[in-house]
Structure 1
Amino acid sequence: METNKIPSLFEWAGGMQAFETLFDKFYDKVLADELLEPVFKHMSAQHRQHVAHFVAEVLGGPKTYSEEEGSHFMMISKHLQKYLTEAHRKRWMELLLQTADELQLPDDPEFRSAFLAYLEWGTRIAVINSKQSETTEATDAPMPAWGWGVPGGPYMPGD
């Protein structure tokens, strides 16, 4: 990596393997969780990988999800009429961040700030959409694209 090139959040996190491992271990926790298991017990065998690819793409990774697996419209549609609560959202966030810590995803304040900001935004949209019977999202709506935000890049000691 060039020293003057700011890595994407995807690159900084460790690439696709980091995201696939994160969501695989995370969904193990979800299925063992009393609150979340009823919501996710019927998820497809590909769900873990689809979510890993979706989040990876949003954070600057390859367009695997949008070119091979789905679209932003399709992701929103999957949440319709799931009737998620704030308790579901908070527990989902708690387990995902716990898994990120266990897998030692970067814990610098810049990465975690951007990562958490995206997860907060995305999970809140999921809760809103879960109470709808149809989406007003355009079928060709672009995938979200999340970057470093205010910090502008990862923490580099000595900068």
Structure 2
Amino acid sequence: MTNNDSTKPTPPSLYEWAGGMEAFQRLTSIFYAKVKEDELLSEVFRHMSPDHPEHVAFFVAEVFGGPKRYSELAGNSAHAEMVSHHISRRLTQTQRQRWIALLLESADEINLPDDPEFRSAFVAYLEWGTRLAVLNSQSDINPITTEPMPKWGWGEVGGPYQAPSE
């Protein structure tokens, strides 16, 4: 497949480069097993449903250009549905940092690609998403109602953060 220039191949999606759905399911399975045992995070996830890792795998896979399985399960308000899980949780920066550290450790364990371009995009998304999760967790009202699912690629420029319009 090529782009309009026809001299450069179109890069694969982050989803494809990571190894597809199997990679994301392995990642979230290993990661959430660690979370359940983690001193700092286990309390946050103590009521996690058994299918939570798979739902998160579907979400991240879709964000990275994979199939729209999360949206199919959650409907038109898929992004708002994900954000709703963070409302009123009062997450801390320390918890956010630990969450990222465990996820990156899990990514290494399953041999997720470690080339600089992929890991840069992967970590950028984790930073962006977890910082929004902490912000949203301080509220008792979901600020997301009609925003589309996020899309993440090899280099995203979104400008300065602006809260969703009310």
Per the normalisation by structure 2, the TM-score is 0.86
Q: Cα offset for 1:136?
A: 2.2
Matched, 1:14 2:19: yes
- Kindly indicate whether the alpha-carbon contact (under 8 Å) linking 1:50 and 1:69 is maintained by their aligned counterparts in 2: no
Which residue of 2 is the match for residue 130 of structure 1? 137
Cα distance in 2 for partners of 1:117, 1:5 equals 21
Matched, 1:147 2:153: yes
Cα distance in 2 for partners of 1:46, 1:132 equals 25
Cα distance in 1 for partners of 2:37, 2:85 equals 22
Q: Deviations over 1:27-51 (max 9, x none)?
A: 0000110000000010111111111
Identity within the alignment, %: 59
Cα distance in 1 for partners of 2:91, 2:73 equals 27
Q: Which runs of 4+ in 1 moved over 4 A?
A: none
Q: Cα offset for 1:113?
A: 0.2
Matches within 5 A, 1:1-159: 4-69=9-74, 71-138=78-145, 140-149=146-155
- Kindly indicate whether the alpha-carbon contact (under 8 Å) linking 2:74 and 2:81 is maintained by their aligned counterparts in 1: no
Q: Which runs of 5+ in 2 are unaligned?
A: 3-7, 157-166
Q: How many residues align?
A: 149
Give the number of the structure with larger relative contact order, counting CA–CA contacts within 8 Å between residues 6 or more apart.
Answer: 1
Q: Secondary structure at the match of 1:22?
A: helix
Q: Secondary structure at the match of 2:47?
A: coil
CA RMSD of superposed structures (Å): 1.5
